[in-house]
Chain A
Amino acid sequence: MIELLLWPWLGGMLIALTTGPLGSFMVWRRMAYFGDTLAHAALLGVALGWILQINLTLAVVIFCLLLAILLSTLMYQRIIAADTLLGILSHSSLAIGLVIISLFNDQPVDLMAMLFGDLLALGQADMLWISISAIGVLGILAYFWQPLLNHTISPELAHVEGVNTNLMRTLLFVLIALVIAIAMKVVGVLLITSLLIIPAASARRLSRTPEQMAIWAAVIGSLAVTGGMALSWFYDTPAGPSIVMVASGVFFAMYLMPKWQRT
């Protein structure tokens, strides 16, 4: 049992550690919908990767990155309202992805795994991708922490104080795209945003500084992964949804608890 669960658990933990701090930024910047859009588009990435016959994870990463940069530019220019743009792209890419995948009669792609994740199928080979990405994302976040935070508080103030605001905005988008491409394995495209948003939102009540919130979010995410996997193992429930369920359980518990700390 241990060998069977070790890699999935480690992979899930690594992803939770990454989604904690990154998800905090998404919560602070109201980017939940943006995350959803990229996640849905990841399915289209899979479909395109299959057509082009390249590695599917690589295809998702590249597609998400391209879309993130495109979105970053479009949203900055404010051609149409951001939520309208996201709504259009989110659902159309999900729809196109589903249509393309259905055209392959031999079904090379496990659609359910794409939509809801297949954590238990995670093997040693996937760990390489996940480890590299997790270390990369956390390293970049740590290095740019202060300018990213300043940009989140006020892009204008940050610009005047010498922060490269274009770089910060794009960087954050790119990191989110990368994490979504990787986290797809764990909870699937439909539930990825929850792994980013719910632990961070739950951590809010426990934190007085941005750093505390990022760390608590990582801890709560890890808890959710562990708890969800336990549920999945003992009751044979699907792993991805179980993880999200535990995370939302923690969220509601946090908000029902009396405030012991004023934040």
Chain B
Amino acid sequence: MPESLLSAQGLLVKQGSRSLIHDVSLDLQAGQITTLIGPNGAGKSTLVRTLLGLQKANAGTVTKAKDLRIGYMPQKLNLESTLPLTVQRFLDLGLGKHRLTDATYAKMASACRVANLLDQPMQYLSGGETQRVLLLRALLNSPQLLILDEPVQGVDIGGQVAMYELIVDIRDQLGCGILMISHDLHMVAAATDQVICLNQHVCCSGHPEQVSQDPAVIELFGLQGASALAVYNHQHNHHHDSHGTIIPGQHHEACNHD
């Protein structure tokens, strides 16, 4: 078994008397890409924020590996236009003790295509450019776990494919575990080892192919949406089997839907 980086048991987060997520358990492992899918308001961001310690859980526990280094890419950045800040400076501000080696940094920076943005003020970046800069910043301190909150938001379709390829590439190069939130099943399946379908609670989880056949997922996304997972999954399986990084026999749990 690969090492567990972060696991959560029975998380419950409430806002007032309404529960945003309940009974959520998950396990994130090194070298594995986990995708969190689910409809709007399913509590995906709440779950991620709870794992990061940005939000307190009303019940349940989050256990992290000792001295776990997490790289976090928020969904967006709310920067006042009054703050003069170039991309270069923004990246420099993220440098900590465990920075990447120069060679790896150069590779990542070119993969994120930030070279021609470095002198730009942060506020002038387009949505896609901001995402790439945020991704690079999340990588600066050689994270063991990378958490990406909707990494392709504001990126056009062509860019989305490239972004997911980049994420797989990052996992292969850094060997880190990755948790990402995504809306669309089509794109992510190719880049995912484990899918967790969230709708306040974990509807089902497992390998993309298994999840795509789950009645709960079909109910949430429709038959076409769910089958998209399986179609892309094949290609993905092939790719990763050759690397031997796939963990076979992921458990698959369905739940009784309300």
Contact = CB atoms under 8 A, between A and B. Distances in A.
Nearest to B52: A160
A182 B109 CA distance: 47
A160 B77 contact: no
A208 interface: yes
Contacts, number: 65
Given A160-B70, A161-B141, A263-B121, A154 B77 contact: yes
Contacts of A200: 82
Contacts of A209: 84-86, 89
A146 B70 CA distance: 19
A28 B80 contact: yes
Contacts of B157: none
A160 B79 CA distance: 18
A91 interface: no
Contacts of B84: 204, 207-210, 212-213, 263
A204 B93 CA distance: 20
A156 to B, nearest CB: 6
**In the complex, which range does the number of interface residues on chain B fall in?**
20 to 34
Given A156-B54, A157-B74, A159-B52, A210 B85 contact: yes
Given A157-B72, A159-B54, A161-B94, A152 B82 contact: no
A153 interface: yes
Q: Mostly helix, strand, loop or mixed at chain A's interface? A: helix
Interface string A203-219: 01001111011000000
Contacts of B249: none
**In the complex, which range does the number of interface residues on chain A fall in?**
20 to 34
A161 B147 CA distance: 12
B218 to A, nearest CB: 34
A150 interface: yes
Contacts of A16: none
Given A159-B52, A160-B52, A28 B74 contact: no
Interface of A: 27-30, 146, 149-150, 152-154, 156-157, 159-162, 200-201, 204, 207-210, 212-213, 263
25 contacts: A27-B80, A153-B85, A153-B93, A154-B74, A154-B77, A154-B78, A156-B54, A156-B74, A157-B72, A157-B94, A159-B52, A160-B71, A161-B72, A161-B94, A162-B96, A200-B82, A201-B82, A208-B84, A208-B86, A209-B84, A209-B89, A210-B84, A210-B85, A212-B84, A213-B84
